[in-house]
Structure 1
Amino acid sequence: MILITDGGSTKCDWIAIDSSGERLAQKIRTKGLNPAILTETELKQIISGSEELMQFSSDVSHIFFYGAGCGTEKPRTMLTHVLQFLFPSANVDVQEDTMAAVRSSLNHNTEAAVVCIMGTGSNCSYFDGSILHQRVKSLGYTLMDDASGNYFGKRLIRDYYFKKMPETIELAFEHKYNLDPDYIKFNLYKKANPNAYLADFAEFMFLNKDSDYIKELIKSGIRVFAENMILQFREELDTGIPVHFAGSIAFFSQDEIKEVAEEYNFKVGNFVRRPIDGLVDYHIKNL
């Protein structure tokens, strides 16, 4: 049995297939498993707490885990050890979430493209057809993650408190969320996964996209992302390669991304909301 996993900071999707590529169960979802944020104990608790997953613990021969926070050695190694402990017969391969975006969005395995993630977090890499190139090391949601869910959540909360929202948007925001300052600070500074907490606010944008304020908020965040991340590959972009996007923020911001792409002169390629389905297809083809 093979487990293929798309792991974000907010949620983690698992799909089990057999050696012929047949799915053995419906998609299993757990809480997010970002090893750059969670401790080893917390990772074990989340995984072992899923009865659906643990029923396969002795049957799994391979785990292909693609996850947020897995781009550097220490958290990647920690998660590998956790998975090997819980699935003792499995050969475990942990890779950063950018590779999931690459494998799920490319038109073919050797296509050259710039591939972006815009979900709870954000990232951008260049795939030359065989090797992934990343010129900016991510420092996480506090300093980076432009145009991500947590970025937009932070922008919305700041605009609310700095009185920059139009009145109708402000009232709708108050109605939807608990905006008590002590409650917000508790979630940001005392609870686990503050990035996921911030990202929850991003849904508000897509429920209110008829607002000029919201449209400009989205476009301004995408411009920052384009300038800081996409345009680092200007030389490659000038050859005409596409820029693919993965993640829910990108999927629901397609119009705004296309408008910004025209401003900055790059070619938009595919949009993938959930990389897990493309990953299953990739691994079935490469069994």
Structure 2
Amino acid sequence: MILVADSGSTKTDWILANPGSPDLQFKTAGINPFFLSDKEIFKLITKQQELVAQAENVTEVYYFGAGCSSPDKREAVSNVLSQIFKQAYISVDSDLLGSAYATCGEESGLCCILGTGSNITYFDGENIRDGKHGLGYILGDEGSGSFFGKKLVTDYLYGNMPETESKLFAQKYMADKETVISNVYHKPRANFYLASFAMFLSEVATGDYSKNLIKSGLTEFVETNITGYPDYKNLKCHFVGSIAWNFKTELQEICKQYQVKIGKMMNHPIDDLANFLLKRG
């Protein structure tokens, strides 16, 4: 049985493929080795008892995750997985490569992640080429959930949010100064905490304030990440993640302005990723 995982900082999707039987799907919380220790990752995965119950039957694990671009982080995740799936061959790589497999297949193109964080890579049909992007939620993550969350929280606390939106924000969230500072500076997974505010833009506040903020954030992503590739107008540009999916209309309009050729847009790439890996063999 082959286990495939696509993991961001917020959630992890798992598919267990068993020839001749329906695939089994599981979900766990997000895994990012930059923010979680080995013990925390182990505890998080083993909480999913239905997945753990299949561990002895798993022969191969293909894991693609946020924070797994460097060899040491890949090794850390691999070591945890090998403790759980003891009989399996383990492969760990970045979420960018997984997203590129799911969207580009065997064709060259650009692949963008717009979820809790944001990133971009060029895929040559076989491998991704590491670039200068993906600086994380403090230095980068333009247009991501954490980016929008940070902007919403600071606008609210500084009193720069319009009155109507400010009242709605106060009703939906506990976002006083002390609570926010505690969660951002003193607790783990600050990026996830900030990203949790992002859906306010589409679920609660849908006026000019939200529209302008969405447009500004997505434009910054396109200008900072996509237009830096000299050949970007000649390449298909694929998008993966909750922000890309929920704000796809706005993203399509901005891409049109910058002559970006949109390819596939996905919220969850796990099915396409698993299909690609199984066909590749």
TM-score range, shorter chain: over 0.9
| 1:51 matches 2:49 | yes
CA separation of 1:61/1:200 partners in 2, compared to 1, >3 Å: closer, same or farther? same
Show the counterpart of 2:84: 86
Shift, 1:165, TM fit = 1.5
Shift, 1:154, TM fit = 0.3
Secondary structure in 2 matching 1:186: helix
Secondary structure in 2 matching 1:259: helix
Q: Distance in 1 between matches of 2:45 and 2:183?
A: 23
Amino acid at match of 2:16: A
Shift, 1:237, TM fit = 1.6
Contact 1:104–1:272 (8 Å) recurs in 2:
no
Q: Distance in 2 between matches of 1:59 and 1:226?
A: 43
Pick one of 247, 256, 260 that aligns with 1:262: 256
Q: Distance in 1 between matches of 2:62 and 2:139?
A: 29
Amino acid at match of 1:262: K
Shift, 1:24, TM fit = 4.2
Pick one of 184, 190, 195 that aligns with 1:188: 184
CA separation of 1:143/1:22 partners in 2, compared to 1, >3 Å: closer, same or farther? farther
Show the counterpart of 1:237: 232
User: More deviation in 78-87 or 258-267?
Assistant: 258-267
Shift, 1:139, TM fit = 2.7
Contact 1:135–1:232 (8 Å) recurs in 2:
no
Shift, 1:286, TM fit = 2.1
Q: Distance in 1 between matches of 2:35 and 2:137?
A: 10
Contact 1:15–1:23 (8 Å) recurs in 2:
no
Contact 2:119–2:133 (8 Å) recurs in 1:
no
Q: Distance in 1 between matches of 2:272 and 2:41?
A: 25
Q: Distance in 2 between matches of 1:179 and 1:237?
A: 40
Contact 1:104–1:282 (8 Å) recurs in 2:
yes
| 1:201 matches 2:204 | no
Shift, 1:209, TM fit = 5.9
1:120-199 equivalences in 2 (<5 Å): 120-199=116-195
Pick one of 271, 274, 281 that aligns with 1:280: 274
Q: Percent same amino acid at aligned positions?
A: 37
Secondary structure in 2 matching 1:71: coil
Contact 1:118–1:147 (8 Å) recurs in 2:
yes
Pick one of 213, 216, 229 that aligns with 2:212: 216
Secondary structure in 1 matching 2:107: coil
Q: Which segments of 5 or more consecutive residues in structure 2 lack a partner in the other structure?
A: none
Secondary structure in 2 matching 1:84: helix
Q: Distance in 2 between matches of 1:46 and 1:206?
A: 29
Shift, 1:228, TM fit = 1.4
Secondary structure in 2 matching 1:147: coil
CA separation of 1:116/1:24 partners in 2, compared to 1, >3 Å: closer, same or farther? closer
RMSD: 1.5
| 1:2 matches 2:13 | no
Secondary structure in 2 matching 1:142: helix
Pick one of 95, 101, 104 that aligns with 1:103: 101
Shift, 1:33, TM fit = 1.0
Contact 1:15–1:28 (8 Å) recurs in 2:
yes
Show the counterpart of 2:60: 62
TM-score (norm 1): 0.93
Contact 2:8–2:66 (8 Å) recurs in 1:
yes
Contact 2:61–2:88 (8 Å) recurs in 1:
yes
CA separation of 1:221/1:254 partners in 2, compared to 1, >3 Å: closer, same or farther? same
Show the counterpart of 2:16: 16
Shift, 1:182, TM fit = 1.6
Q: Distance in 2 between matches of 1:121 and 1:68?
A: 9
TM-score (norm 2): 0.95
Q: Distance in 2 between matches of 1:23 and 1:199?
A: 34
Shift, 1:279, TM fit = 1.2
Amino acid at match of 1:263: Q
- Count the aligned residue pairs: 281
Contact 1:146–1:222 (8 Å) recurs in 2:
yes
